[in-house]
Amino acid sequence: MITLSSDFGTPYPAAMKGVILQRSDARLVDVSHEFPRQDVRAAAFWLREVLPHFPPAVHLAVVDPGVGTDRAALVVRAGDHALVGPDNGLLLPVARRLADVDADVEVFEWTYEDPASHTFHGRDVFAPCAAAVHEAGVARIETLDAATPTDAYEGLTFPEPTLPTEEGEAPRGEVLVVDGFGNVVTNLPGSVLAGHYGDHVSVGGVVARVVRAYDTVDPGTRVVTVGSHGNVECAVNRGRGNRSFGLEAGDDVQLSF
C-alpha cells in the first residue's frame, strides 16, 4: 500500500499515480492533496494525526517549497512504515509517532540525478522512489542503491505549550492549524480542560463554554472542546470557530477559566 499526500490540488497528483502504477501494483490511497500550500508545518501536523491510523505502508508526502534546489530527498523508516518526501522536516513528526521508540526512526538520503523537471519532483523523484521502496519492501530499504543512511536532515518540532504549574495559572499555547470546518486546533493538550466541563472559558477575551460535544449548545454558539487529535479546539456548533474566535494558524491562545 502506498498513501499519497501533497499540497498539489489537482491534477498533478494523478501524474504521480501514473508514475507509480508504471512500476508497482500497490494499492494507492489518497490522504490529502489539499494541504495548505507550501505550509510544511501544517502538513507535518496532519500527517502525524492521520497516518498512524493506517496499516504498514509506504507514505509518499510532498509539500516541497524547495523543489529543484539542492535540498535532499529522504526515505524514512519508522517501524513497519516508510515515508518518502523532501528533506524539510515534513516527515519527522509522523515518523516519531509511527515508531515505537525514537531509535526506530532511520533516515536515508535518496540520491537522484537529472530529474525531468526542476518544478515537479513529486512526479520525477518522489513517486519513482516510493514505488522502488514499496517493491523492495520497507524492511529492505538499505538494499536500494539510491538509499544511503544519514544523520544530517532537517527536523521539525511543533511549539510546546506552557502548562500551569500552580492553581490558577492560565495554559498558554498556539494555534497549529484550522481545519476545513473552521475548527481551531491548538497545541494545548485536552487534559487542561479537566474539571472545567460546563464552565465558561475566556480564549484571549472571547468567552465560550467548555463542552464534550459540539451539539450540546445551540447552533452558532462558541465552544471549547477536545478535538479528535486530543488537543484543545475552539469551535462553533454548526459554524466556523476561526471566524468567531478570530484565530488563525500561528496565533497565541491563552485559556482563562
- Name the minimum Å distance from CB 122 to a second copy: 9
Contacting range for a second copy; rule: CB under 8 A; set: 74-82, 201-209, 228-236, 241-249 = 228-236
Q: Evaluate whether 195 touches 167 at the Cβ level (below 8 Å).
A: no
Task: Show Cβ contacts of residue 197 under 8 Å, excluding neighbours closer than 6 positions.
Answer: 210, 211, 212
Based on the shown chain and the rule CB under 8 A, indicate whether residue 126 belongs to the binding site for a second copy: no
CB 73, min distance to a second copy, A: 14
Q: Which is nearer to a second copy, 77 or 123 (CB)?
A: 123
How many angstroms separate the Cα of 83 from the Cα of each of 73, 170, 173, 251? 11, 38, 29, 30
238 scored as a contact of a second copy (CB under 8 A) = yes
| Shortest spacing between CB 256 and a second copy, in angstroms | 23
CA distances (Å), 94 to each of 45, 53, 84, 122, 190, in order?
A: 8, 11, 12, 19, 20
Least separation in angstroms between CB 22 and a second copy: 5
Cell numbers for 59, please give them.
507514505
Pattern 42-81, binding to a second copy, x per CB under 8 A?
Answer: ----x--xxxxxxx---------xxxxx------------
Nearest one of 158, 135, 160, 22 to 84, comparing CA atoms:
135
Write the DSSP assignment of 27-85 as a string of letters.
-EEEEES-SPTT-HHHHHHHHHHHGGGSPS-EEEEE--TTTTSSPPEEEEEETTEEEEE
Q: Which is nearer to a second copy, 147 or 241 (CB)?
A: 241
Give the residue among 125, 112, 152 at the shortest CA–CA distance from 61.
Answer: 125
* # residues near a second copy by CB under 8 A: 61
Q: Decide: is 249 part of the binding site for a second copy (CB under 8 A).
A: no
| Contact track, a second copy, 186-205, x by CB under 8 A | --------------------
Cell numbers for 19, please give them: 508514475
What grid cell was written down for 15? 501524474
95 binds a second copy (CB under 8 A): no
Site track for a second copy across 9-48, x = CB under 8 A: xxxx-xx-xxx-xx-----xxxxxxxx-xx-------x--
Q: Which residues make up the interface to a second copy (CB under 8 A)? A: 1, 3, 5, 8-12, 14-15, 17-19, 21-22, 28-35, 37-38, 46, 49-55, 65-69, 116-120, 123-124, 179-181, 212-216, 225-228, 230, 233, 237-238
